[in-house]
Amino acid sequence: MTTRSETQTTLDHLLTEIEHRNPAQPEFHQAAHEVLETLAPVIASRPEYAEPGLIERLVEPERQVIFRVPWQDDQGRVHVNRGFRVEFNSALGPYKGGLRFHPSVNLGVIKFLGFEQIFKNALTGLGIGGGKGGSDFDPHGRSDAEVMRFCQSFMTELYRHIGEHTDVPAGDIGVGGREIGYLFGQYRRITNRWEAGVLTGKGAGWGGSLIRPEATGYGNVLFAAAMLRERGEDLEGQTAVVSGSGNVAIYTIEKLTALGANAVTCSDSSGYVVDEKGIDLDLLKQIKEVERGRVDAYAERRGASARFVAGGSVWDVPADLALPSATQNELDEKDAETLIRNGVKAVSEGANMPATLEAVHLLQKAGVAFGPGKAANAGGVAVSALEMAQNHARTSWTSQRVEEELASIMTSIHTTCHDTAERYGAPGDYVTGANIAGFERVADAMLAQGVI
């Protein structure tokens, strides 16, 4: 039997090859490194995973699509953006993963997101594969008509590659209910099919699921609560810092408040707000979801309890819990040191890979409970899969039923990660538990289906 050290050496060589074959894709390198550095124990104990080039196939997408997206603005000027869809792994089911519209989007970002999605989707147990897509288009400051024209152009190419049994996109940063509506309308127009299951995150009146907008934030809080319970604590009375002010952050704050915690921050690219009384959700939703404004407006209208800090780091605010809910690599080693110094008990990732590898290692070494995004924020894609189930049955579930299903799934994910970490000699290490548990489910399916 191959030893763990020999296996790790093989994995290290594979990481070097990944970096060589995928140049200038640091986010994908980071995601691959984070997973592969934890797999040595399972491969050493189950050598069948190493024999058919399984890991080499796992880190190579099944399909990568890059396409031109031309569109006209309201002044008649033509713009050309780049669209992406990376269909990474379909061993467990149709590709499933969101679309991100943001200037930072490139192939490396989409590949990192798609790779993470493989393991996240596997952990849900709902029979969905991993994929991701998007564009470097920036919807911020664009009119509804401009966003519609862009979405229609984007879908004019994307429709060839998706379908309810093939690939089911959803929303992500920059893609909310408005964008999903325009995308679905163009898909329906081109295909002449009412194929509700081709996109998730739809409006509740035309095939969407209740609790879908809330699911990622709610699920992350439920995962954080489960980690605290393992330590004999609960959320009641805990102070929490949350980054971001989009969909994930808003509903993270909402669920924290409902469970008795005090969420005191939110942020955007301009800076962050600290509200000692706790974030006023109605005001935040009005500014961000209705007015599409900046968080400094929150501080101006909230009163004496709130202050706005331009720039800086939201992680400088002392708290018991930290829930990064904005974007990748927003929490670095320096931020982790600050959180630890201020006595943080748990960090749970609402965004995808918001903590750098160095920050994760530092938090774990300090004994902080750390919930990796592929487990902690899986509630969003879980409810997307429940939306697919409702679409297949042409029915709609009550919000109570969906929320109960979400709670059950998040409890199951926590238990799976916790127990898997213990089984492989890493008790309390949710990163190792999540990576190995997700890997085993995908790897077993890949072995069963042959070298394809």
C-alpha distances in Å from residue 166, one per residue of 162, 227, 320: 6, 35, 43
Q: What is the pLDDT of residues 20-61, one digit of tens each?
A: 999 999 999 999 999 999 999 999 999 999 888 999 999 999
Active site (annotated) includes residue 285: no
Write b or e for each residue in 91-107: b if 16 or more Cβ atoms lie within 10 A of its Cβ, otherwise e.
bbbbbbbbbbbbeebbb
pLDDT at 311 over 90: no
* Strands ordered across the beta sheet of 321-323: 262-263, 239-242, 321-323, 346-348, 369-371
Show me where the domains of the chain are located.
4-58, 63-194, 213-376
Provide the terminal-to-terminal Cα distance of the chain, rounded to the nearest Å.
Answer: 26
CATH architecture of 213-376: 3-Layer(aba) Sandwich (3.40)
pTM: 0.96
What size, in residues, is the chain? 452
Owner of token pair 């209910």:
177
The verdict on domain 63-194 having CATH code 3.30.70.260 is no
Would you state the pLDDT for residue 165? 97
The residues with which 375 forms a beta bridge, in sequence order, are none
Q: What is the pLDDT of residues 253-272, one digit of tens each?
A: 999 999 999 999 999 999 99
Q: Where are the beta strands (DSSP E) in 296-364?
A: 306-310, 321-323, 346-348
Q: What is the pLDDT of residues 207-226, one digit of tens each?
A: 999 999 999 999 999 999 99
Q: Pick the catalytic residue from 132, 202, 255, 345.
A: 132
Amino acid at position 42, single letter = V
pLDDT at 356 over 80: yes
Residue 186 CA to residue 450 CA, distance in Å, equals 37
Residue 134 CA to residue 209 CA, distance in Å, equals 22
Q: What is the pLDDT of residues 91-131, one digit of tens each?
A: 999 999 999 999 999 999 999 999 999 999 999 999 999 99
